[in-house]
Amino acid sequence: MTRPAPPPGDRRGRAAADPPSTPDPGTPGSGQVPVCPRHPDRESYVRCQRCGRPACPECQRPAAVGIQCVDCVREGARTVRQGRTVFGGAPTDGRPLVTMWVIGICVVVFVLQQLVPGLTGRISFVPVLGDSQPWRFLSSGFAHGGLTHIAFNMYALWVMGQYLEPLLGRARFAALYLLSAVGGSVGLLLLASPQTVPECLVTRGAWCTSAVGASGAVFGLFGAFLVLQRRLGRSAAGMYVVIGLNAVIGFVLPNIAWQAHLGGLVTGAAAAGIVGYLGGRRSPAEQPRRTVHWLGLGALLALLVVLAVAKYALA
């Protein structure tokens, strides 16, 4: 008994009813001119080494071998582990942008102080008013009392920022500066003699003194420098001399809030200790280390708030 012959074109007995698939436009052998998927009006005979699609000159990116399209480069960047600084911060291009922004803000505020009557009194830190006007804890760190005052502070900020910002990363450096500014105000609050508002207006005691300047934050950078240099095994002998001279000046010259200097110094050192010692150095688990750092810095801010609230409650 003979079997019926299979339909032409199919030796396994299946009907060859389906038409052959049509090649995608722009693929080799399709007979169509290849065009860039992102710019369909542009012909392109150069193909991405990763996905094989045409890429016009605008969408081509040099690769180790050949070129890749911008989509494949972007997708590859998502899977590549980003480099971090020695203390876990995002690497910078070397420009201390946060430092420059802070200097710019301080200069703008200083100019406004000269143009707007009463502005200095509204943003300076007056301990007796801090509980009802808490913004003064931070705003005072951007105001200054004179040209020499701002010039000295901005020079010190520029010198320290150029070193610390690339070392820590911009986010951590910004947190260090802001925490140190608040810590300077808290130091003045804790170490100044408490008085009530009426007594303050009559006697002009320590709690009535209007404290302005980035000195507390700058001393915080000094303290951070000491801690981080020790963590890296580097010498910081010169900084001890600078801090000692400034400490003597703070006690000898009038109208200098040494309490704010001390508060900023301690706060900056504590913040640097959190970043430098918690989570490990060059730890392979970058995400847990970053989480520990930010939780630690948040806890430091909470401690400053608690100290200020307790001081006002007990005064």
Angle at CA of residue 297, ends 268 and 188, nearest 5° = 45
Query: What was the pLDDT predicted at 150?
Result: 92
- As beta bridge partners, residue 228 has none
pLDDT digits (tens, 9 = 90+) for 155-204: 999 999 998 998 888 999 999 999 999 999 999 989 876 544 444 444 44
Average pLDDT, the chain: 80
pLDDT above 70 for 73: yes
> Binning pLDDT at 50, 70 and 90, where does residue 224 land?
very high
Please check whether residue 224 is in contact with residue 183, taking contact to mean a CB–CB distance below 8 angstroms.
no
Which two structure tokens, joined as six digits, stand for 4?
Answer: 């019926």
Q: How far apart are the first and last CA of the chain?
A: 113
Q: How far apart are CA 119 and CA 126, in angstroms?
A: 13
pLDDT digits (tens, 9 = 90+) for 255-265: 778 888 999 99
Once rounded to an integer, what is the mean pLDDT over residues 60-71? 82
Once rounded to an integer, what is the mean pLDDT over residues 293-303? 94
Residues noted as catalytic: 215, 261
Query: What was the pLDDT predicted at 257?
Result: 80
pLDDT above 70 for 252: no
Q: Closest Cα partner for 101 from 182, 173, 163, 180?
A: 173
> Binning pLDDT at 50, 70 and 90, where does residue 6 land?
low
Query: What was the pLDDT predicted at 245?
Result: 78
pLDDT above 80 for 63: no
Query: What was the pLDDT predicted at 129?
Result: 84
Q: How far apart are CA 220 and CA 263, in angstroms?
A: 8
Query: Domains of the chain, with CATH numbers?
Result: 97-314 (1.20.1540.10)
Q: How far apart are CA 175 and CA 173, in angstroms?
A: 5
pLDDT above 80 for 246: no
Q: How far apart are CA 43 and CA 36, in angstroms?
A: 6
Window from 31-35, 73-77, 198-202, 234-238 with minimum mean pLDDT = 198-202
Q: How far apart are CA 199 and CA 207, in angstroms?
A: 10
Q: Which amino acid is at 66?
A: G
Q: Dihedral of the CA atoms 104, 265, 283, 302 (nearest 10)?
A: -90
If you count them, how many residues does the chain have?
A: 315
Burial (CB count <10 Å: 0-12, 13-18, 19+), residue 134: middle
> Binning pLDDT at 50, 70 and 90, where does residue 17 land?
very low
User: Which is more confident, 105 or 245?
Assistant: 105
> Binning pLDDT at 50, 70 and 90, where does residue 254 land?
low
Q: Closest Cα partner for 86 from 281, 262, 220, 297?
A: 281
Query: What was the pLDDT predicted at 16?
Result: 45
Question: What pTM value is reported for the model?
Answer: 0.69
39, 71, 77 from 47: Cα distances, Å:
14, 13, 19
Most confident by average pLDDT, 1-5, 39-43, 134-138? 134-138
